[in-house]
Every structure is written in C-alpha cells, then in structure tokens.
Amino acid sequence: MSDPTRNGGSMSERSSTPHSPVGVSTNTGIEHAGNVAHEIVVVRWSDPLVQRVGHDALGTYVEIFWLGILGPTATWLLRRLAVVAVAHPDGHRLDVRDTATALGLGGDAGRAAAFNRALQRLVMFGLARHVDGAIAIRTVVPPLSMRHLSRLPERLQSAHALWNDDDEHAGLAMAFGFDADAGVSVVAS
C-alpha cells in the first residue's frame, strides 16, 4: 500500500481545505488498473457549519429522512465510508471490490459500476466530494433542504418537523405511523 499523502501535505490538511465546488476535480479518488477501480482513499470532510446544525451520518436521521432521497445503496455506502472516515480521519485506502461485496452489490462486473453509481449519488447530493485524489465523506450530514423534503411522503415531512436529535421519540413515532404517546398506529389502511 502506498502512502495516502503522496501528493504532499497530510490528508487532514487537504480534507479541511476551503470548500471547492463538488465535482471540480478531474481526479475521482478511485485508482484504476485498466477500467477496473481497485481502491479509493477516504478522508473525513469537515464542515464547521454542518457540524453545528447537521446530523450524525450513522444516526437515525439518515435512515429515516436521507434514505428516501439517496436510495438504499448510496445510504449504506455513506454509512460505510463515514465509519472509515471517523476511524481514519487523516485518510485510509479502501478496497472497492471488498466494499462492494460487503454491501451486497452484484457480480464482479456490476460491483464496480454499482459502487461508482452510489458514490456519484453521494457527490451529487453533497455528502461526498473529490479532494486531491481522495473521496472526502461527511460524517455529519446537513438537514434536508426544502426541495428534498418535499419529495418525501407527507408523514415523513411531518416527522421531520418534529425531529430533535436529542429526543427522537416523537419524530420516530410520526415517521413510522404511530401515536407517540399511545403507541398505536395512526396510518390509514
């Protein structure tokens, strides 16, 4: 394994550089042998504003609200990459094939394609970005924008209005169609 800081400077210096527009870099952070991606370097994306107002990428908020926007594969990839970024904030090389297999993505030819599509969804929604040959991943995700929130079912929109990371009870009850106090389903059948 070669040094993830080969371009000079530590990974933490590069991952906390001023916010460049997503997708500006032509370097994808994915190392290729022929057309097959073998590994990516994952770093933590620190964003002081999102750190203050956002939600843990491994928390319930992502599962309840971001899942309907990202889809299941990108959501699981976000969580997997966030674990790596928390454990190795200065950067860590991740094997694409092993990660794709661990996420249950198709056969050999499909693994890299499905992995890359999920990664591009994370970039498209601002949860990952290309930085100096690495993939910077948010470990704290921003609250949903009004545009994204409007795509969710009304029940989830109402649950979002009640959401509080310190006390998820009312928001979870609403999200799953239960009366928060009585524990009774309120979803019409």
184 and 108 within one domain: no
Residue with tokens 């209005």: 161
Answer yes or no: do 38 and 126 share one domain: yes
Residues 133, 161: one domain?
Answer: no
Task: Please give the chain's pLDDT, 189 residues, in tens.
Answer: 333 333 333 333 333 333 333 333 334 455 444 444 589 999 999 999 999 999 999 999 999 999 999 999 999 999 999 999 999 999 999 999 899 999 998 656 666 789 999 999 999 999 999 999 999 999 999 999 999 999 999 999 999 998 877 777 888 888 888 765 655 444 444
Examine the domain organization and report whether 137 and 158 are in the same domain. no
Are residue 121 and residue 167 in the same domain, yes or no?
Answer: no
Average pLDDT score, the chain: 79
Residues 35 and 96 in one domain: yes
- Domain span at 59: 26-141
C-alpha 1/C-alpha 4 separation (Å) is 9
Nearest to 143 by CA among 63, 65, 75: 65
Does some domain include residue 6?
no
On whether residue 82 sits in a domain, the answer given is yes
Domain total for the chain? Answer: 2
